[in-house]
Structure 1
C-alpha cells in the first residue's frame, strides 16, 4: 500500500504535461491573432494623401473674328486705299485657339508719291491644363516669346522696347527701322496679354516715289490704337463681341497651341506676301514705273 502511492503521484504528474503544452500553444496563437488584428486596424495610405491643387479655369473660351476686331473706321485711317477693306484672314487649323488678319494698301498721291501701309493682327488663346498650368500662365509665357521675336526681326535697326500702359493686363511696344524694296520702313509691334489671350499687332509703312517716310511716332500711335480695339474685342467690350463663346474650361485640347513654330511660319509667309506694296493704277508715269519695279522686287 505504501509503495503504490508514490507510483500514482508519478503517473498523475506525467499526465499533466500534455495539458500544459496545449495551454501554452493556445496562448501563443492568441498573441499572433492580436498582432494581426492591430495591423489591420492601422489607417490606409490612400486616406493620408492630400488632394492635388487644381489650376484656375481659363477666362476666355473663344476668340473674336480677327478681321472684325479692329473697326472699319480705324482700318480706313491706318491703311488708306486698302486692297481689301474687310481684311485677309490668316489660315489656321483651329480658329478657336489661333487666328489672324491683315490689311495692306498703296495710297497713290500722284507727283507727291505714294504711301504704303500694312497692318497685321494675331490672336492666340490658351486653355488651362493640369500639367502645363493655367491659361493665364501659359499666355504669359507666349507673351514673352512674342516680344522676343519682334525684337529679333531680321534686318531690324534702331530696335527699342518699352512697356505700354492701358492696353490689356500687360503690353510691350517694340519699334524699329527696316530697309527693303529700296525704301525705309518704320515698324511698330504691340504685344499685349489679357487673361489667357495674347494679341500681337504689327503696323508699318513707307513712302514711295519721293513721298516722305512716315514718322515713328505716327506708326506707333496707330499700332497702339488698333491694339486697344483688339483687346476690347477679346473681352467683349468692343463693337464686335466674340461669337459662339462657351463657358471657360480648364480642359486641355489636342489642338491647343503648345509652341510658336506653326504660327511663326505663317507669320513669315504673310510678311513675304502682304508686307510689300503691290501695284495700283497710277495717274503719274513716274509713280507707275516705280510701282512696277517694286512689284518686280517683291
Structure 2
C-alpha cells in the first residue's frame, strides 16, 4: 500500500471514528456560534431603536418646550405714555383783557403791572389798579388781577389737563378760605372754558367794605384766575356784587380766548355748567410747577392811591 493510500485511509478512519455523532457535534457547534451572534445583533438593533426613539422623544420634547416658551413668554410691556398737553404757551398776561373790558372794569388804570415769573410760558400774571377820586364826594376803587398757569403732561404727575383740573379745584377752595371773608358764596359759571366758578365774599378793611370776586376757569391744561374787587371809599356807595361778578366774567372770557388764540386755536367751545357744588372739587396738586404770584392787597393799593 502506497504512502498516499495510507494517508487517505487514515483520513477516512478519522471521519469514520467521528461518524454521525461527530458531524452532529460540529453542526451543534456552528448553531451555537450563530445563536450567540443573533442576540448581539438583536441587542444592537434594540439599542439603536431605543436610541432613535429617545432622540425622537427628546426632539419632540425640545420642540414642545420651545413652543411653550414662545407662547408663554410675556410680551414686553409698553413704555408708559401720557396724553400730550394741548396748549404749549401762554399769552402776554397784560394783553389778555381787551381795551373795552379794561376801560369798563378799571377806567382809571394807566397800565398793567406784570407779575414776576421764572417761566412766562408756564406762569404769568398782570394787575391793574383804578381809583376814581371825587374828593369830598368819595372815590370808587377797583382792582383787577389776571393769573395764568399752564401744566405740561408728565408720566409721573399725569396729563396736563388732569393736573389743571386738580389745580382748578384747589383755587376754588382757596377762594373760600380767605381770612376775614364774610358772606362767602360759590357760583358756577357756564360758557367759559371747560369748567368755571366764581367765589364771592365781603372783606372789611379800614378803608371800607370791599366786594371781592374770584373767578376761576380751566381751559384744557391752563387755569385762568381773575380777581376783581371794588369798594366805595370816603363815603362813596359800595358797588353791587352782582355787577362786579358780571364785569369779572367779561375779563375771564377775554383771558380764556387769549390763551386759545396764542396757541393757534379758535375760541374754545363752551362746556356745560360745572357742578353746583364747586366746593367739592379736588384739592390743589402738589405736583404743580409753582403757585401763581400772590395777589396784591386791595387795601394797600387803595392806600397808595390815596
TM-score normalised by length of structure 1: 0.77
Task: Give the structure 2 partner of residue 110 of structure 1.
Answer: 135
Which sits farther off after the overlay, 215-224 or 73-82?
73-82
Instruction: Tell me if structure 1 keeps the 8 A contact 2:143–2:298.
Output: no
Query: Are residues 1:206 and 2:231 paired?
Result: yes
Q: Cα deviation per residue 1:73-96 (whole Å; 9 max; x = unaligned)?
A: 3223212322xx331111111111
From 169, 178, 185, the equivalent of 2:210 is 185
Choose the corresponding residue for 1:140, options 165, 168, 172. 165
Structure with higher Rg: it is: 2
Give SS of 2:291's match: helix
Could you tell me which residue of structure 1 aligns to residue 29 of structure 2?
4
Q: Please give the alpha-carbon distance, in whole angstroms, between the structure 2 residues aligned to 1:154 and 1:94.
A: 30
1:263 maps to: 291
Task: Please tell me the root mean square deviation across aligned C-alpha atoms, in Å.
Answer: 2.8
Which of 189, 207, 228 is the aligned partner of 2:253? 228
Q: 2: distance between equivalents of 1:74 and 1:155? A: 29
Shift of 1:55: 4.2
Structure 2: runs of 5+ lacking an equivalent: 1-25, 266-284
Q: Output aligned runs, 1:57-206, within 5 Å.
A: 57-82=84-109, 85-206=110-231
Change beyond 3 A, Cα 1:275–1:96: farther
Q: Counterparts of 1:234 and 1:107 in 2: how far apart (Å)?
A: 31
For 1:127 and 1:262, how far apart are their aligned partners in 2? 12
Kindly indicate whether residue 53 of structure 2 is the aligned counterpart of residue 27 of structure 1.
yes
Instruction: Give the structure-2-normalised TM-score.
Output: 0.75
Aligned residues: 260
* Change beyond 3 A, Cα 1:279–1:127: closer
Q: Give the Å deviation of 1:69.
A: 0.2
> In the TM superposition, what whole-angstrom CA distance separates every residue of 1:51-88 from its partner, at most 9, and x where no partner exists?
67854433222111110000233223212322xx3311
CA contact (8 A) 1:120 1:201 kept: yes
Contact 1:105 1:278 in 2 (8 A): no
Unaligned runs of 5+ in 1: 237-241, 247-256, 281-290, 292-298
Contact 1:171 1:191 in 2 (8 A): yes
Cα distance per residue 1:138-171 (max 9 Å; x no partner): 2222211111111112221110012112222221
